[in-house]
Structure 1
Protein backbone atom coordinates (compact mmCIF):
# COMPACT_ATOMS: atom_id res chain seq x y z
CA UNK A 1 0.00 0.00 0.00
CA UNK A 2 1.34 3.40 -0.92
CA UNK A 3 1.07 5.71 2.06
CA UNK A 4 0.59 8.87 -0.02
CA UNK A 5 -2.69 7.55 -1.49
CA UNK A 6 -4.32 7.50 1.93
CA UNK A 7 -5.00 9.81 4.85
CA UNK A 8 -4.86 8.66 8.44
CA UNK A 9 -8.35 8.50 9.99
CA UNK A 10 -7.10 10.24 13.13
CA UNK A 11 -5.65 13.12 11.10
CA UNK A 12 -8.87 13.47 9.11
CA UNK A 13 -10.99 13.45 12.25
CA UNK A 14 -8.76 15.99 13.97
CA UNK A 15 -8.83 18.37 11.01
CA UNK A 16 -12.61 18.06 10.57
CA UNK A 17 -13.51 18.00 14.25
CA UNK A 18 -15.30 14.64 14.22
CA UNK A 19 -14.73 11.64 16.48
CA UNK A 20 -12.92 8.66 14.99
CA UNK A 21 -15.88 6.50 16.00
CA UNK A 22 -18.00 8.39 13.44
CA UNK A 23 -15.71 7.23 10.61
CA UNK A 24 -15.88 3.65 11.89
CA UNK A 25 -19.68 3.87 11.94
CA UNK A 26 -19.65 5.10 8.33
CA UNK A 27 -17.58 2.06 7.42
CA UNK A 28 -19.95 -0.23 9.33
CA UNK A 29 -22.89 1.23 7.38
CA UNK A 30 -21.00 0.52 4.16
CA UNK A 31 -20.90 4.19 3.18
CA UNK A 32 -17.12 4.50 2.95
CA UNK A 33 -14.06 2.31 2.62
CA UNK A 34 -11.44 2.32 5.35
CA UNK A 35 -8.14 0.50 4.86
CA UNK A 36 -6.29 -0.89 7.86
CA UNK A 37 -2.55 -1.41 7.83
CA UNK A 38 -0.33 -2.09 10.83
CA UNK A 39 -3.05 -1.18 13.37
CA UNK A 40 -3.64 2.19 11.68
CA UNK A 41 -6.77 3.00 9.72
CA UNK A 42 -6.64 5.04 6.52
CA UNK A 43 -9.16 6.65 4.20
CA UNK A 44 -8.29 6.37 0.48
CA UNK A 45 -7.96 9.78 -1.20
CA UNK A 46 -10.71 8.93 -3.69
CA UNK A 47 -13.11 8.53 -0.73
CA UNK A 48 -12.36 11.98 0.70
CA UNK A 49 -15.01 13.96 -1.25
CA UNK A 50 -17.66 11.45 -0.18
CA UNK A 51 -16.53 11.47 3.45
CA UNK A 52 -16.42 15.28 3.55
CA UNK A 53 -19.94 15.45 2.07
CA UNK A 54 -21.18 13.01 4.70
CA UNK A 55 -19.54 15.00 7.50
CA UNK A 56 -21.24 18.18 6.22
CA UNK A 57 -24.63 16.45 6.05
CA UNK A 58 -24.18 15.15 9.57
CA UNK A 59 -22.81 18.31 11.18
CA UNK A 60 -24.42 21.16 9.25
CA UNK A 61 -27.84 19.61 8.64
CA UNK A 62 -27.90 17.33 11.68
CA UNK A 63 -28.79 14.24 9.62
CA UNK A 64 -28.33 10.89 11.34
CA UNK A 65 -26.50 7.94 9.81
CA UNK A 66 -29.67 6.24 8.61
CA UNK A 67 -30.70 9.42 6.78
CA UNK A 68 -27.22 9.78 5.28
CA UNK A 69 -27.43 6.19 4.04
CA UNK A 70 -30.76 6.93 2.31
CA UNK A 71 -29.40 10.14 0.77
CA UNK A 72 -26.32 8.27 -0.45
CA UNK A 73 -28.46 5.56 -2.08
CA UNK A 74 -30.66 8.17 -3.77
CA UNK A 75 -27.65 10.08 -5.10
CA UNK A 76 -26.21 6.83 -6.49
CA UNK A 77 -29.51 6.07 -8.23
CA UNK A 78 -29.61 9.58 -9.71
CA UNK A 79 -26.06 9.18 -11.03
CA UNK A 80 -26.94 5.81 -12.59
CA UNK A 81 -30.03 7.29 -14.21
CA UNK A 82 -28.04 10.22 -15.59
CA UNK A 83 -25.51 7.80 -17.09
CA UNK A 84 -28.35 5.79 -18.63
CA UNK A 85 -29.89 8.96 -20.11
CA UNK A 86 -26.56 9.92 -21.67
CA UNK A 87 -26.17 6.42 -23.10
CA UNK A 88 -29.69 6.45 -24.52
CA UNK A 89 -29.16 9.92 -26.03
CA UNK A 90 -25.96 8.70 -27.71
CA UNK A 91 -27.79 5.68 -29.15
CA UNK A 92 -30.61 7.90 -30.35
CA UNK A 93 -28.17 10.30 -31.99
CA UNK A 94 -26.48 7.36 -33.71
CA UNK A 95 -29.73 6.11 -35.23
CA UNK A 96 -31.01 9.51 -36.33
Structure 2
Protein backbone atom coordinates (compact mmCIF):
# COMPACT_ATOMS: atom_id res chain seq x y z
CA UNK A 1 0.00 0.00 0.00
CA UNK A 2 1.33 3.45 -0.90
CA UNK A 3 2.25 5.77 1.93
CA UNK A 4 -0.38 8.40 2.55
CA UNK A 5 0.72 12.04 2.57
CA UNK A 6 -0.49 13.86 5.69
CA UNK A 7 -0.90 17.59 6.28
CA UNK A 8 -0.55 19.08 9.75
CA UNK A 9 -3.89 20.43 10.98
CA UNK A 10 -2.33 23.53 12.52
CA UNK A 11 -0.75 24.39 9.15
CA UNK A 12 -4.10 24.08 7.38
CA UNK A 13 -5.89 26.15 10.02
CA UNK A 14 -3.31 28.92 9.74
CA UNK A 15 -3.42 28.87 5.94
CA UNK A 16 -7.24 28.93 5.73
CA UNK A 17 -7.68 31.17 8.78
CA UNK A 18 -9.98 28.83 10.68
CA UNK A 19 -9.97 27.75 14.29
CA UNK A 20 -8.79 24.27 15.20
CA UNK A 21 -12.10 23.85 17.03
CA UNK A 22 -13.88 24.16 13.65
CA UNK A 23 -11.83 21.24 12.31
CA UNK A 24 -12.50 19.31 15.52
CA UNK A 25 -16.23 19.81 15.06
CA UNK A 26 -16.06 18.62 11.45
CA UNK A 27 -14.23 15.54 12.71
CA UNK A 28 -16.77 14.89 15.47
CA UNK A 29 -19.56 15.04 12.84
CA UNK A 30 -17.68 12.49 10.74
CA UNK A 31 -17.09 14.94 7.89
CA UNK A 32 -13.30 14.67 7.84
CA UNK A 33 -10.69 12.08 8.67
CA UNK A 34 -7.94 12.87 11.16
CA UNK A 35 -4.83 10.79 11.83
CA UNK A 36 -2.90 11.18 15.08
CA UNK A 37 0.78 10.30 15.18
CA UNK A 38 2.62 10.83 18.45
CA UNK A 39 -0.09 13.24 19.65
CA UNK A 40 0.19 15.36 16.48
CA UNK A 41 -2.91 15.51 14.30
CA UNK A 42 -2.97 15.38 10.52
CA UNK A 43 -5.43 15.31 7.63
CA UNK A 44 -4.73 13.07 4.64
CA UNK A 45 -3.67 15.18 1.66
CA UNK A 46 -6.35 13.60 -0.53
CA UNK A 47 -9.04 14.99 1.82
CA UNK A 48 -7.81 18.59 1.81
CA UNK A 49 -10.07 19.44 -1.15
CA UNK A 50 -13.12 18.34 0.83
CA UNK A 51 -11.94 20.39 3.80
CA UNK A 52 -11.47 23.42 1.53
CA UNK A 53 -15.06 23.04 0.29
CA UNK A 54 -16.33 22.94 3.88
CA UNK A 55 -14.28 25.99 4.83
CA UNK A 56 -15.65 27.94 1.84
CA UNK A 57 -19.22 27.02 2.78
CA UNK A 58 -18.52 28.07 6.36
CA UNK A 59 -16.76 31.35 5.55
CA UNK A 60 -18.61 32.49 2.42
CA UNK A 61 -22.12 31.44 3.42
CA UNK A 62 -21.67 31.60 7.21
CA UNK A 63 -22.96 28.05 7.63
CA UNK A 64 -22.22 26.20 10.86
CA UNK A 65 -20.70 22.69 10.80
CA UNK A 66 -24.07 20.99 11.27
CA UNK A 67 -25.41 22.93 8.27
CA UNK A 68 -22.35 21.92 6.27
CA UNK A 69 -23.21 18.29 7.01
CA UNK A 70 -26.74 18.83 5.67
CA UNK A 71 -25.46 20.65 2.57
CA UNK A 72 -22.93 17.93 1.77
CA UNK A 73 -25.59 15.23 2.16
CA UNK A 74 -27.93 17.11 -0.18
CA UNK A 75 -25.15 17.64 -2.73
CA UNK A 76 -24.38 13.93 -2.59
CA UNK A 77 -28.03 13.09 -3.22
CA UNK A 78 -28.13 15.52 -6.16
CA UNK A 79 -25.05 13.81 -7.65
CA UNK A 80 -26.68 10.41 -7.17
CA UNK A 81 -29.85 11.63 -8.91
CA UNK A 82 -27.82 13.09 -11.80
CA UNK A 83 -26.08 9.75 -12.27
CA UNK A 84 -29.37 7.88 -12.11
CA UNK A 85 -30.91 10.25 -14.65
CA UNK A 86 -27.96 9.83 -17.04
CA UNK A 87 -28.23 6.04 -16.72
CA UNK A 88 -31.98 6.15 -17.36
CA UNK A 89 -31.48 8.36 -20.43
CA UNK A 90 -28.92 5.93 -21.76
CA UNK A 91 -31.29 2.99 -21.29
CA UNK A 92 -34.08 4.94 -22.98
CA UNK A 93 -31.87 5.70 -25.99
CA UNK A 94 -30.96 2.01 -26.31
CA UNK A 95 -34.63 1.07 -26.09
CA UNK A 96 -35.58 3.63 -28.74
CA UNK A 97 -32.90 2.28 -31.09
CA UNK A 98 -34.09 -1.32 -30.74
CA UNK A 99 -37.81 -0.46 -30.85
CA UNK A 100 -38.32 2.21 -33.52
Task: Provide TM-score, normalisation by structure 1.
Answer: 0.84
Structure 1 gap ranges (5+)? none
For 1:40 and 1:75, the matched residues in 2 are separated by 32
User: In terms of Rg, which structure is larger?
Assistant: 2
1:1-42, Cα deviation, whole Å (9 max, x unpaired): 835x22111110111111111111101011111122222211
Aligned to 2:78: 78
Matched residue SS, 1:36: strand
TM-align CA RMSD: 1.7
For the pair 1:28 / 2:31, whether they are aligned, the reply is: no
How many residue pairs get matched?
95
